[in-house]
Amino acid sequence: MSLLLLLAYLQLRRRRARERLAAKGELRAAYDSLETRIAARTQELQARVDELHRTEHTLRATQDDLVQAGKLAVLGQMAASITHEINQPLAALRALNDNARVYLERGMQADAEGNLEAIDQLTQR
Q: What pTM does this model have?
A: 0.53
Residue type, 73: A
Banded model confidence at residue 61, pLDDT cuts 50, 70, 90 = very high
| pLDDT for residue 5 | 87
State yes or no: pLDDT of 125 exceeds 80. Answer: no
Three-state secondary-structure class, residue 48: helix
pLDDT tens, residue by residue, 29-44: 999 999 999 999 999 9
Banded model confidence at residue 1, pLDDT cuts 50, 70, 90 = confident
DSSP codes of every residue in 82-115: HHHHHHHHHHHHHHHHHHHHHHHHTT-HHHHHHH
pLDDT tens, residue by residue, 98-119: 999 999 999 999 999 999 999 9
